[in-house]
Structure 1
């Protein structure tokens, strides 16, 4: 391979990866909703799971081991993979979401790429649109590439859409993707969700 080609490939590797995911649509938020979402984003807490008993801790450790094995090809570096999974587990539960659903959504939205950017400008693992940083964050769009920030925003936004749709997951997923009412995106996420269920789960 020529030196010029190597340099070109190296330069391409530094560019943000494009995603074909959709985009949330900016909608007016009531002041009370904006305040609640801002508070939920701002509550600083590291993804350190706490358990009431040893059995709950063992269930979590079995989940972490199983998911880590499944994700090896997508995230070969062990420490990165474990930190990612711990954070997904923490943030999904914090928002009252099923962890396998969040993993399925990330698979569809970004293919587990931290620096993915869609043609609409959505960023990171959960493809959060920049306007959310202004509406409920501190306005710093670049922070949407920070792992925990991105996962927290994504989980809080999905929870918000679920609440708006009165628990209708199909419609909430469509709203998350900016394709509300169309089946293609919810069907993809729910199909990918099944790949992240533990043995015996449905």
Structure 2
């Protein structure tokens, strides 16, 4: 694109899919804030809503009429940058914080962020295997599983549960970088995601009320 014809950066902010992406980023930042504080129910709520907004920005983009190619390219890059925060940095901070920032948890945090960056870069270059199949395990599925596992935190000691989520996140990172063909959920699956996010938000909200 000719430099003289480049569009203002701020002109992309009013694009509705990008607004949705930024709401997902805001949810992730909230999750990071509470994860650092050790408030894990609130952090999990943040990451759940980050997934929801991540799904909806694509749905909105695909159904918008009159969206230019440049807007689509910008939106795809913005979405990828936000995914690193939501599904790389945020779960890494949850792991570090739950492990009381013990140095032994630092390699795990690095693996989570590095595998996220590598997977997203690979996807940006190669895309899907076909219209309905990913190569490797999608990053957003990692945090959906993590959110479910955290429901059982109270059944274990902190040491046992920290080892459990460490092991789980390392396994998921390996699956992210694997060549396993994974179905791309879409269509009516979005209703299942909405129900899942709303249900877990209510459960973790109840946990928060009982902490007061």
- Structure-1-length-normalised TM-score: 0.29
> Which has the higher relative contact order, 1 or 2, with Cα contacts under 8 A spaced 6 or more apart?
1
With structure 2 as the length reference, what TM-score do the two structures score? 0.28
